[in-house]
Amino acid sequence: MEHMKYIESKKNDEIKQLKKLSATKNIRKTGTYMIEGFHLVREADQYEQKFLKLFVTENYADDRLVKKYYDIATTVSEDVAEEMSETKTPQGIFAVIKVADVEDSPKLSGKWVILDDVQDPGNVGTIVRTADAAGFDGVITSLNSADTYQPKVQRSMQGSQFHLPIYRMDIKKAIKLAQDSSMKVYGSEVDKNAKPYNKLAKADDFALIMGNEAHGVSREVLVNCDENIYIPILGKAESLNVAVAAGVLMYGLQSL
């Protein structure tokens, strides 16, 4: 067996190109993105994502997963791993993966979350992870939400991105798709005039819309929903963090 290709210098051209992959526009342009960390790389492999490249530090060289991708694997120095990493303590394993092909107008069913311009990458990632945990069927992000292929979003999804479909489209189109599929569409808002979430009638197929951190779900969207719901504030806080609110609502609606 030949030795794997080895990159020692962080000034290497290939490494410089890879660093650019964290920018959303380059992800969409190249149709590829990078994930980092053993857990995520293993999940991607297990859920049959298309690997284009694998980069590992020497301590991973004998790993079974790395051997599987031997033909596309490169060993890198600790120095290079630090340069590639988005974290302070890199694990030393990175994969470049093909962006999943997604249908333009998917048929929806079951329980979905739609994000109306949720902009913090940690919030978007955490909501996808929670949707997975709560047994939801998929997530749609509006065009101004944080891109789910961004490294920070990828990291907070913790592998859930491989467990359920994630689409990106205009929010109006998303609502139309859901309603065309006979799903109820619930807008969420911080407004006591909306319906408390735990008073909703149980539904098997619905889409739950979560809004922007500062402005919530836009008025334009709320008027098109079948029902608007809120989480009662029992103390003195003005609102909840959007990822926490999504969790309360997803589990709350699952146990109606």
Of the candidate residues 159, 187, 211, 216, the single one contacting its own copies (CB under 8 A):
159
Rounded CA separation 97/194 (Å): 42
User: Per-residue x/- marks for its own copies, 21-60, CB under 8 A?
Assistant: ----------------------------------------
* Least CB distance to its own copies at residue 140 (A): 17
Helix, strand, coil percentages for the chain (3-state, nearest 5): 35, 20, 40
Is residue 89 within the footprint of its own copies (CB under 8 A)? Answer: no
Rounded CA separation 60/87 (Å): 18
Q: How many CB atoms lie within 10 A of CB 204?
A: 9
Q: Which residue, 36 or 83, has its beta carbon nearer to its own copies?
A: 36
* Least CB distance to its own copies at residue 224 (A): 27
Angle between the 121-133 and 242-254 helix axes, to the nearest 10 degrees? 10
Rounded CA separation 42/100 (Å): 17
Of the candidate residues 141, 145, 158, 212, the single one contacting its own copies (CB under 8 A):
158
Could you tell me the CA-to-CA distances from 67 to 7, 38, 64, 85, 194 in Å, in that order?
18, 14, 5, 22, 55
Q: Which of residues 120-149 bind its own copies (CB under 8 A)?
A: 122, 126, 129-136
* Least CB distance to its own copies at residue 83 (A): 24
Of the candidate residues 32, 49, 160, 228, the single one contacting its own copies (CB under 8 A):
160
Is residue 110 within the footprint of its own copies (CB under 8 A)? Answer: no
Q: Which residue, 153 or 243, has its beta carbon nearer to its own copies?
A: 243
Is residue 154 within the footprint of its own copies (CB under 8 A)? Answer: no
Residue 152 sits at φ, ψ, to 5 deg, of -65, -35
Rounded CA separation 256/198 (Å): 7
Q: Which of residues 197-256 bind its own copies (CB under 8 A)?
A: 198, 231, 233-241, 243-248, 251-252, 254-255
Q: Please check whether residue 209 is in contact with residue 179, taking contact to mean a CB–CB distance below 8 angstroms.
A: no
* Least CB distance to its own copies at residue 2 (A): 36
Of the candidate residues 75, 156, 188, 212, the single one contacting its own copies (CB under 8 A):
156
Could you tell me the CA-to-CA distances from 132 to 137, 139, 157, 166, 251 in Å, in that order?
8, 9, 9, 11, 11
Q: Which of residues 168-187 bind its own copies (CB under 8 A)?
A: none
Q: Which of 101, 99, 93 is nearest to 21 (CA)?
A: 99
| Chain contacts with its own copies (rule: CB under 8 A) | 122, 126, 129-136, 156, 158-160, 163-164, 198, 231, 233-241, 243-248, 251-252, 254-255
